[in-house]
């Protein structure tokens, strides 16, 4: 029977996926109107402000939260996330929300695959089988043998690899620093890096689109806040399977708002990837 804290955690995760899917829809719209680097830069401005505000309220304030035993690792993992955000938002404009998320959903499988060589974790044959099945699903989506295969389909796969690497490095950094420290470095380093890049691609923003920028940034802060609360009240292994709902919400937004169409191979491949991912999460929880 599900405990009360797990019910609350699941509810928060479901709301979080809706918020993040909406954020993706706003990101796609803005990235089609403005440069991707500029959009990501503005998102990071608000993200950094959110992180600094949260950190300032912690015991010891920002100075205490910012203390890290692995500064180079924190910088590197933060830059990996910056690259992932740019690549994934670019994929939204090239392929749409549905197909991008269908491929991006493979990142838990990539984490499982790389957790052995990077973290030294044991990955049994069942999870390796699930990983192979999941990548078969990716091949179905990519459909490389088709004459109309688009290399753009590799863009969200690159985003998934980057996000998986970010997740593994974050897990590794957790051996030395707490989550508040990693969260602080993620926002601040990302803000500095994207400001250095994004200002070179600045375009005038209409008043209406500034409103959308503000909504996008607010949704990002709300999503991260909900995610933090989610992991505070429930174990990650209990709520993580529900993160796949973001694929469904993003697909609905893509179809209704942007007129996207989901092809049969994308639908079949997404089901295989999600099924393999859920099995991997289940095995990880059972083994642990």
The contacts of residue 248 (CB under 8 Å, 6+ apart) are none
| CA-only gyration radius of the chain, Å | 19
Question: Burial letters for 7-23: b for 16+ Cβ neighbours within 10 Å, e otherwise?
Answer: ebbbbbbbbbbbbbbbb
pLDDT given at position 4: 52
User: Rounded to an integer, what distance in angstroms lies between the CA atom of residue 205 and that of residue 202?
Assistant: 9
CA dist 115 and 121 (Å) reads 6
**pLDDT, position 286:** 66
Please give the pLDDT value at position 288: 56
Q: What is the pTM of this model?
A: 0.86
Q: How far apart are CA 88 and CA 85, in angstroms?
A: 5
Length of the chain measured in residues: 288
Residue-level pLDDT at 27 = 95
How confident is the prediction along the chain (288 residues), in pLDDT tens digits per residue? Answer: 444 577 888 899 899 999 999 999 999 999 999 999 999 999 999 999 989 999 999 999 999 999 999 999 999 999 999 999 999 999 999 999 999 999 998 888 888 888 777 777 777 778 788 888 888 888 888 776 554 557 888 899 999 999 999 988 988 898 899 888 999 999 999 999 999 999 999 999 999 999 999 999 899 888 888 887 887 787 766 777 888 889 999 999 999 999 998 888 889 988 998 888 888 777 666 665
Tokens describing residue 57: 């309220």
Segment (H or E) for 56: helix 36-56
- Nearest CA among 252, 222, 214, 209 for reference residue 29: 209
Cβ 184 vs Cβ 74: under 8 Å: no
Between the alpha carbon of residue 158 and those of residues 9, 85, 188, 246, 258, the distances in Å are 30, 11, 24, 19, 23
pLDDT for the residue 159: 95
The tokens describing 273, both together, are: 């990837």
């Amino acid at each position: 029977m599900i405990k009360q804290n797990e019910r609350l955690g699941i509810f928060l995760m479901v709301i979080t996926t809706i918020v993040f899917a909406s954020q993706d829809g706003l990101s796609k719209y803005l990235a089609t109107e403005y440069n991707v680097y500029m959009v990501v830069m503005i998102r990071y401005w608000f993200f950094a402000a959110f992180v600094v505000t949260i950190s300032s309220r912690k015991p010891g304030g920002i100075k205490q939260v910012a203390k890290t035993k692995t500064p180079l690792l924190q910088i590197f993992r933060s830059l990996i996330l910056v690259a992932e955000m740019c690549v994934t938002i670019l994929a939204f404009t090239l392929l749409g929300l549905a197909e991008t998320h269908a491929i991006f959903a493979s990142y838990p499988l990539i984490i499982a695959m790389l957790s052995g060589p990077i973290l030294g974790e044991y990955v049994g044959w069942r999870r390796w089988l699930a990983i192979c099945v999941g990548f078969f699903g990716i091949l179905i989506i990519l459909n490389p043998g088709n004459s109309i295969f688009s290399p753009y389909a590799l863009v969200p796969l690159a985003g998934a690899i980057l996000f998986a690497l970010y997740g593994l490095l974050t897990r590794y950094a957790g051996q030395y620093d707490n989550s508040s420290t990693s969260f602080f470095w993620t926002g601040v380093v990302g803000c500095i890096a994207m400001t250095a890049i994004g200002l070179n691609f600045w375009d005038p923003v209409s008043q209406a689109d500034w409103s959308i920028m503000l909504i996008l940034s607010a949704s990002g802060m709300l999503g991260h806040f909900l995610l933090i609360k989610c992991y505070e009240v429930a174990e990650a292994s209990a709520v993580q399977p529900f993160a796949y709902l973001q694929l469904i919400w993003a697909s609905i937004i893509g179809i209704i708002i942007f007129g996207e169409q989901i092809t049969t191979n994308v639908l079949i491949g997404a089901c295989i990837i999600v099924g393999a991912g859920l099995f991997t999460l289940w095995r990880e929880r059972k083994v642990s």
